[in-house]
Amino acid sequence: MALNEIMSKTCNDVNNENHDNNNINNETDIDDMDDNDIDNRINNNSNQLDQALNRLQNAGNKIFESEEMIEKRRDIIREVSKLSTKWIQHCLETHDILPKEDIERSSCYIFPFGSYELNAHFESSDIDLLCVGPKQITRDMLFTEFVKILESDQRVTDILQLRHAFVPLLKFTFEGIDIDLVYAQW
C-alpha cells in the first residue's frame, strides 16, 4: 500500500472513530464541561493520535527514520563540518589572512536548520546546513575553493551552485544524502 493511501486510511479511521465516539464533533460548549470531561476528551484524542502514528510507523513504509539512518545523518553533518573547517583554513592560509598559528585554531560553525533540525523530516529529506565562517572568507570563496574541495571528495556527488538565488547556496549529495548549504560570515 502506498504511503499516501496509508495516511489517508489512517486519517479516515481516526475521523470515523471520533465521529462514532462523538468526541471531537460534539458541539458541547467547553464552558459547560467539567474538568473531568475535558481531561477525558484530551486523553482520548491523545490515545487516538498515538494509535494513528503507530499504524503509520508499523505500515512498513519509511516514514520514520531508522536509528542507523539517524546516526548516518549525524555523521554526515560532522564530516561536512570537517570539510568546511578544512576549507576555511585553506582560504585563510592561501590568502595570507592570518598567521599560521591562528589558522590552525580557526574553524567554522555548522548549524542544521529546517525540517531536519525540527525533526519533521522523512528518510528521503535533505539536510539544510548553515555554515558560519570568518568575515574574511567570502561567498565567492565558497563557490570556488569549497567546491574544489567537494569535487575532490569521493563521497560527494551532484554539486550544484546556486549563486544567484535569493539565498545563494550549494546543493550536493554526501554519501547519498542531499545537502543544502548556505554560508554566512561573522
Report the sign of the C-alpha dihedral through residues 82, 151, 95, 165, in that order.
Answer: negative
Whole-Å CA distances, 55 to 19, 49, 82, 125: 19, 10, 39, 21
| pLDDT attached to residue 23 | 46
* Helix locations, the chain, DSSP H: 3-21, 35-57, 67-94, 100-105, 114-117, 139-141, 147-151
- Among left, alpha and beta (phi > 0; psi -120 to 50; other), residue 119 is left
Whole-Å CA distances, 64 to 2, 49, 53, 104, 167: 15, 16, 10, 40, 29
Q: Is residue 158 a contact partner of residue 107, using CB atoms and an 8 Å limit?
A: no
How far is 138 from 156, CA to CA, in rounded Å?
Answer: 22
Q: How many DSSP H helices and E strands does the chain contain?
A: 7, 5
| pLDDT attached to residue 5 | 60
* Residue ranges in the chain modelled with pLDDT below 70: 1-30, 57-63
pTM, two decimal places: 0.70
Q: Which three cell numbers stand for residue 142?
A: 565558497
Q: Which residues are paired to 182 by β-bridges?
A: 130
How far is 70 from 184, CA to CA, in rounded Å?
Answer: 26
| pLDDT attached to residue 37 | 80
| pLDDT attached to residue 61 | 57
